[in-house]
Structures are given as C-alpha cells and as structure tokens.
C-alpha cells in the first residue's frame, strides 16, 4: 500500500527559525528545546501542509470523520496565532519534501505567509503533484492534539455521550489506555462539550474524578483509534499524521515510555506518522536510544539558541540536550572508554586480597589487576629505580604490607601497600583464626565452619604451636624461627600451602563480615 509521508522541512525563515532543516522519522519524531525556540511552530507548519477534503486524483470529495465527529484536518487558527505586527506577508518561507501516496511520487511545495482577507495566512504554493491549481494542500488526514486538550477538567462544560465507534470498540480503547497507563480500568466513557474526549476508568469512579493524565491518555488513544476507523472505512487509505504538542503532559515516566512503544507499534500497523514536542528527559532519552537502533523510524530534533540563531541538532543525545538546557558542561558518559591502569602484585595471594577489597568499589572500572604476572618486591624496586615507565609512571605496583619498613622513606609514587602488617596469606589465617565460632561468617552456604578451617590449617596450627582463642601470627613466626630449624618446614611455605588448599580458595569467595 502506498502511503503519504512527510520527509523534510527546510525553513528559510519563520519566527525564530532561519535556514534550518528538519528530517522526520517514518514512525516517530520528537522535537525538544528551550522555550521560545519555535517547537510548536514546527507542528503548525506540518499541520498546515495537509487537508482531507478532496481526493484530487479521483476528483472526489472526502467526508470521513474522527470518532468524536471532528475533521481530519487542523485549521490554521488551531495551530497558529498570527501576529499582525510580526507575522506579515513574506515572513514565512518553507520548502516541503514528502512522499505523496495518491500519486506515489516524491513531492515538493512551499509554504508562505500571504495576505488573505484581513490578515496573513499560511498558504501552500508550487505543489509539484497538483494539476491545475498548484496552490493547494496535499491530501492527507491529520489529527493535531494541541495544548487545548489540557484544559482543566474542573472548568470544562461537558455531557456524557456514546460515540458509536467507541461504544462498539470499548474493549480496544480500554486495552490501549491500560497499556499506556499500566492500569486495569474496566469501563470507558465519552464526553463532549468544551473538549470531545473519552476516558477509561474503574467501577469505583467515573469521568468526574479522572486525572488530567488519564484524560490526556484517552485523547491520544481516541486519535489512534480514529485512524484505525479511517483505515477500515476508506478504501484508498494512505496513512495519516498525528501531531501532539507536549506529549508527556500529565504522564508519569513509565507511561511516557509506554506511549512511545505503543505509538511505534500503531505507526507500523496503521501507516501513521507521529510528530510530537516534549520537555521530558525520560521520553527524549528513550526516543534517542530508539533512533540509534532504528534511524529511519525514529528521529529526535533538538532546537538550540545557545550559539545565536536557533540551530537544529538532529539525533542529539539526552546528556548533550540536558547540558545545553541547564547551561552546564556535559557530564562524562558512564560508558566513556577510559584507559585502565595495570596493577602488579608479588603473588596470587596479593591479587586475591586486592580483588576482595575492591569488589564493590567504583575504581574497578579503571583498574586492570594482573594475576599472572608476579615478581618479588626487589624486582619491582629495580624496575622502578631504572625508570621503566610501565612501573615508574603508568601502572601501580601493589606490595604486601610486610615490606613497609624496607621501603620507608623512598619516593615511590606508583607503589601501593596492601592493608595490615602481614602478607595476604598470613593475614587471612590470622583473621579467620581469631573469628569466634559463633560469628555470622561461619554460617555460610558452603558450610565452611571454623572446624573446617582449623582442620585445613592443621599443619600451621601444629608447627607454629598455635593455641587459645587468639593468635598473633607475627609473634608465632618469630618464635618458630628461633633455635634449630633443621628439618623444619619454612613458615612461608606452610602459609602458601594453606592458602592454596581448595577449601581456603573457596572461602575467599564468601562475603567477609565487616
């Protein structure tokens, strides 16, 4: 099926807009910007291009109506307030590019402000697919949801009415509204008067007590269903254009995202195109994410006057938009690719202790601990003193705490000491031994109890003659190394063997108590 679709507007001049181009997504375009940057004027220009009164190819009148009885057309007084002082003939010049579904051709035209009766009026000129009168609008159904739809509910005059199509398709209306608002309403009521509208509500309240957000959702859903009705009734249906000013008004963040998801689906099903304005960070950010995935379907258009005249920033991210709106510098992206710093250790034990200490720390994003490269303290000192830049400038050398005295007074800007006053394997042994058996740590999923620990560390406990509830490892090692050491295992080797046992390795993955 051929469809009509707005492709591009080149605005030579109109109000705050001078020499700007706006590209439209095939499904959804979100226009955002500071106040006074002519966001709503762009909606007005898009609305002014089209009418739905005649099929000029077949030379037949069109009399189709929305569910509420309104035309599929936005009159210029509904989307423009013309200033007699500033909006004078010649002050608007816009080049239009679109795909015309009725002729199945790429089409162009101009929109200019011209004198009509008493005041100037926007007029389409040079319609490239028109035969005869080229100063006519393109045939295309349009629904423009202006800020009039937000007229305070308490101040409206209205009557309850059964719109025929709504009555026959109330389940569809309720379903779409519930999807949008994440609700479970069960009834639908139509109203006419100041504004023609409809709302979905529950059994315990009615249209008298709905919120502005519920009413806004109802009007958007009515517009979607009006296009569905048109598609069912009109054999030569070519799609439609839905324009929404401040689409997020009255909608909470989840509803704003649900709105875009729902509109995207309905755009595909009904061949409609949606153009909206918004100030919502949630809605704009989601739209930007989608336009990165689907560049033809979604477009975000940011209007900025930061650098003088209003400029169009197509597909600008929310962090960039937020910085401009708040007159701040842009924050660093959480996904920014920063260089990671290599961290070297004396042994695997040092690596494991560092990883455990920094498990939940932000610096994990910027560090690269190396488990497979292990050198002794003296080797690292030599590399640093020889000014090998990898070790003296660019990386961190993480040494065991027991070398503190040997490096005291030396200027070593890349050296970091692990906590405590013992090597990691000795520190872990001392820490676990000194935990009482009723400590919460021992009640873990692995059933790594204090008895399991003392059994796996039996060599250390036996050889170092550890006894009692508390151990001072440094003193025990000093006592052990006195006297005759022939045939005795080295304390350092015993601690290494203890640390490398499967039980000890498994325990290192348990959350240690504070």
pLDDT in tens, 349-360: 888 888 888 876
Lowest mean pLDDT among 213-222, 292-301, 344-353: 344-353
Q: Domain segments of the chain: what residues?
A: 5-62+74-140+236-325, 151-233, 341-417, 424-507
Residues 125, 146, 260: CA angle, nearest 5 degrees: 100
Residue among 37, 62, 66 nearest 51 (CA): 62
Q: Please, which pLDDT band fits residue 94 given cuts at 50, 70 and 90?
A: very high
According to the 3-state scheme, what is the secondary structure of 428-454? Answer: HHHHHHCCCCCCHHHCCCCCCCHHHHH
Q: What is the pLDDT of residue 511?
A: 63
**Alpha carbon distance 255, 171 (integer Å):** 19
Q: Please, which pLDDT band fits residue 88 given cuts at 50, 70 and 90?
A: confident
- Average pLDDT of the residues in 206-229: 91
| DSSP characters over 308-345 | SS-EEEET--HHHHHHHHTT-PPPPPTT--PPPEEEEE
Q: What is the pLDDT of residue 309?
A: 87
Residue among 176, 72, 180 nearest 188 (CA): 176
512: Cα separation from own chain's centroid: 36
- Average pLDDT along the chain: 89
Rg (CA), the chain: 36
User: Mapping DSSP to helix (H, G, I), strand (E, B) and coil, where does residue 43 land?
Assistant: helix
100: exposed, middle or buried (Cβ count in 10 Å: 0-12, 13-18, 19+): buried
**Alpha carbon distance 28, 24 (integer Å):** 8
- Average pLDDT of the residues in 499-514: 69
Helix intervals (H) in 37-118: 39-48, 76-79
Class of domain 5-62+74-140+236-325: alpha beta
Is the separation of the CB atoms in 420 and 401 below 8 Å? Answer: yes
Residue among 210, 185, 186, 184 nearest 197 (CA): 210
Q: What is the pLDDT of residue 224?
A: 98
User: Mapping DSSP to helix (H, G, I), strand (E, B) and coil, where does residue 169 land?
Assistant: coil
The percent of residues above 90 in pLDDT, for the chain, comes to: 50
Q: What is the pLDDT of residue 26?
A: 97
Q: Does 294 or 211 have the greater pLDDT score?
A: 294
Lowest mean pLDDT among 159-168, 182-191, 409-418, 478-487: 478-487
Q: Where are the beta strands (DSSP E) in 101-145?
A: 105-116, 119-125, 138-139, 142-145
**Alpha carbon distance 263, 266 (integer Å):** 5
Lowest mean pLDDT among 1-10, 39-48, 93-102, 147-156: 147-156
User: Mapping DSSP to helix (H, G, I), strand (E, B) and coil, where does residue 140 land?
Assistant: coil
Stated as kind and residue range, the H or E segment containing 369 is strand 367-374
pLDDT in tens, 244-286: 999 999 999 999 999 999 999 999 999 999 999 999 989 999 9
User: Mapping DSSP to helix (H, G, I), strand (E, B) and coil, where does residue 68 land?
Assistant: coil
Q: Which residue has the tokens 């509420």?
A: 68
pTM higher than 0.85: no
User: Mapping DSSP to helix (H, G, I), strand (E, B) and coil, where does residue 296 land?
Assistant: coil
> Is the Cα torsion angle 288, 294, 298, 302 positive or negative in sign?
positive
pLDDT in tens, 275-314: 999 999 899 999 999 999 998 999 999 998 888 888 888 7
> Is the Cα torsion angle 250, 254, 256, 262 positive or negative in sign?
negative
Q: Which residue has the tokens 């650098």?
A: 307
Q: What is the pLDDT of residue 514?
A: 54
> Is the Cα torsion angle 92, 93, 98, 103 positive or negative in sign?
positive
Q: Please, which pLDDT band fits residue 338 given cuts at 50, 70 and 90?
A: low
């Amino acid at each position: 099926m051929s469809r009509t679709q707005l492709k591009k507007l080149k605005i030579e001049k109109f109000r705050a807009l001078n020499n700007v181009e706006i590209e439209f997504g095939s499904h959804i375009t979100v226009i955002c910007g500071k106040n006074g940057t002519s966001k709503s004027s762009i909606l007005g220009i898009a609305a002014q291009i089209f009418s739905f009164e005649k099929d000029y190819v077949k030379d037949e009148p069109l009399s189709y109506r929305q569910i509420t009885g309104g035309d599929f057309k936005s009159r210029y007084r509904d989307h423009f307030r013309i200033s007699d002082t500033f909006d004078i003939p010649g002050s608007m010049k816009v080049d239009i590019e679109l795909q015309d579904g009725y002729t199945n051709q790429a089409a162009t035209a101009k929109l200019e402000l011209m004198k009509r009766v008493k005041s100037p009026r926007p007029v389409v000129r040079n319609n490239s697919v028109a035969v005869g009168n080229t100063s006519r609008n393109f045939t295309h159904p349009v629904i423009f949801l202006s800020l009039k739809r937000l007229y305070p509910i308490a101040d409206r005059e209205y009557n309850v009415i059964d719109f025929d199509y709504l009555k026959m398709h109330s389940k569809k209306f309720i379903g779409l509204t519930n999807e949008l608002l994440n609700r479970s309403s069960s009834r639908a009521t139509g109203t006419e008067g100041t504004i023609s509208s409809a709302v979905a509500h529950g059994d315990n309240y009615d249209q008298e007590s709905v919120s502005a957000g519920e009413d806004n959702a109802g009007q958007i859903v009515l517009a979607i269903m009006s296009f569905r009705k048109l598609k069912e009734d009109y054999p030569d249906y070519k799609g439609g254009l839905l324009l929404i000013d401040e689409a997020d008004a009255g909608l909470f963040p989840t509803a704003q995202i649900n709105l875009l998801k729902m509109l995207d689906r309905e755009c595909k099903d009904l061949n409609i195109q949606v153009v909206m304005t918004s100030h919502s960070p949630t809605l704009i950010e989601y739209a930007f994410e989608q336009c990165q995935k689907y560049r033809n379907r979604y477009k975000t258009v940011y209007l900025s006057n930061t650098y003088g005249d209003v400029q169009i920033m197509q597909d600008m991210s929310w962090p960039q938009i937020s910085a401009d709106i708040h007159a701040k510098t842009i924050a660093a992206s959480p996904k920014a690719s920063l260089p990671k710093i290599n961290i070297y250790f004396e042994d695997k034990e040092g690596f494991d202790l560092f990883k455990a200490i920094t498990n939940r720390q932000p610096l994990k994003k910027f560090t690269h601990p190396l488990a497979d490269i292990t050198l002794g303290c003296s080797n690292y000192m030599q590399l640093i003193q020889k000014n090998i830049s990898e070790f003296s400038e660019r990386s961190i050398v993480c040494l065991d705490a027991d070398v503190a005295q040997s490096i005291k007074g030396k200027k070593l800007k890349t050296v970091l000491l692990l906590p405590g006053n013992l090597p990691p394997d000795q520190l872990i042994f001392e820490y676990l031994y000194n935990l009482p058996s009723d400590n919460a740590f021992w009640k873990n999923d692995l059933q790594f109890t204090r008895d399991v620990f003392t059994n796996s560390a039996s060599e250390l406990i036996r050889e170092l003659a550890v006894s009692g509830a508390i151990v001072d490892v440094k003193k025990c090692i000093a006592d052990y190394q006195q006297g005759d050491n022939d045939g005795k295992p080295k304390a350092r080797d015993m601690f290494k063997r203890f640390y490398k046992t499967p039980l000890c390795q498994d325990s290192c993955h348990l959350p240690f108590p504070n």
